[in-house]
Amino acid sequence: MSTSTAGACSCAGGDSALSTTANIISILIFAYVLLVGGLYQFASYQQSNGDTSELLEKAAEFRTQTHELKTRHQEMNAKLKGLAKDTAVQAQEQNTNVTNIIGNVEKERGHKWCFIWREITFKPLRERVGLTQQLDLLQGRLHLKV
């Protein structure tokens, strides 16, 4: 009868020195990986806190700029409304002036549009020419007195 020794260990004293060293090295590597992973997580957490504070600062700055723009927009709207009212008043005044001129010309010369058009276009020009002549006379008087 032959006995098989294939599955039996003939080691009487336990593990060899090489296997014990390999086990210790693998435990140290595992501990090193855990330590590096923890340090990486801690560094990522610190960096995210810094990024969050920067984002909060930028959001606060954005809010103040938005508020400033909103107040400027409201001021500009108020100014534009004032300008629109002034323009509407001036347009109404011009409309009444033109209506008066047309009414006066119609009374004086009839309902011919050529006379009305001539009166509307050339009256301001005649007024300006008269003002420039008066200014020239005043300047001439001032030069004579000097």
**Higher-confidence residue: 3 or 36?**
36
Q: Which residues contact 23 (CB under 8 A, 6 or more apart)?
A: 15
106, 88 in Cβ contact below 8 A?
Answer: no
pLDDT at 25: 96
- Among 61-70, 94-103, 124-133, 134-143, the range with the most confident prediction by mean pLDDT is 61-70
103, 115 in Cβ contact below 8 A?
Answer: no
101 burial via Cβ count (<10 Å: 0-12, 13-18, 19+): middle
Output the CA angle 112-114-120, nearest 5 degrees.
Answer: 110
Q: Which residues contact 13 (CB under 8 A, 6 or more apart)?
A: none
Return mean pLDDT, the chain.
76
Lowest mean pLDDT among 7-11, 38-42, 44-48, 120-124: 7-11
pLDDT at 12 over 80: no
Q: What is the pLDDT of residues 56-111, one digit of tens each?
A: 888 889 899 988 988 888 888 888 787 778 787 777 777 777 777 767 766 666 55
Percent of the chain residues past pLDDT 70, beyond the cut: 62
Extract the tokens encoding 118: 């001539």
The count of other CB atoms within 10 Å of the CB of residue 116 is: 19
